[in-house]
Amino acid sequence: MADGFSISAQELISGIVQSLLAKRAVATSVDAAQNLTDVGLMSLDMVNLMLAVEDEFGIEIPQRQMIPANFRSIAAIENLVNTVALAA
């Protein structure tokens, strides 16, 4: 960005997660390594998370990478985003 300020992928993903948790009335901070289902995201939330990540980063996650392990934590999602973006 022109002003030298940029938001990291982890911060963007964290914002998406916080938004999904807020819809469930769960007010908690989430560490990058925390299991997202343990903090309150349900299976439908995980689908919405995947779609929001694709939209936010302008990527399409290959079906073979749509596995629970890749969406277990913010750190796992960040790794997935970096992997998909590099492959593009």
Asked whether residue 3 is assigned to any structural domain, the reply reads no
Q: Assess whether pLDDT exceeds 60 at residue 1.
A: no
How far apart are alpha carbons 64 and 27 in whole angstroms?
Answer: 32
Looking up residue 33, the CATH number of its domain turns out to be 1.10.1200.10
Residue 28: which domain range? 9-87
How far apart are alpha carbons 53 and 76 in whole angstroms?
Answer: 12
This prediction has a pTM of: 0.89
Task: Please report the pLDDT score of residue 4 as a whole number.
Answer: 52
Segment 76-82 shows an average pLDDT of 97
Q: Assess whether pLDDT exceeds 60 at residue 2.
A: no
pLDDT tens profile 28-72? 889 999 999 999 999 999 999 999 999 999 999 999 999 999 999
Q: What is the dihedral of CA 3, 58, 16, 78, to 10 degrees?
A: -90
Residue 5 banded pLDDT, cuts 50, 70, 90: low
Asked whether residue 64 is assigned to any structural domain, the reply reads yes
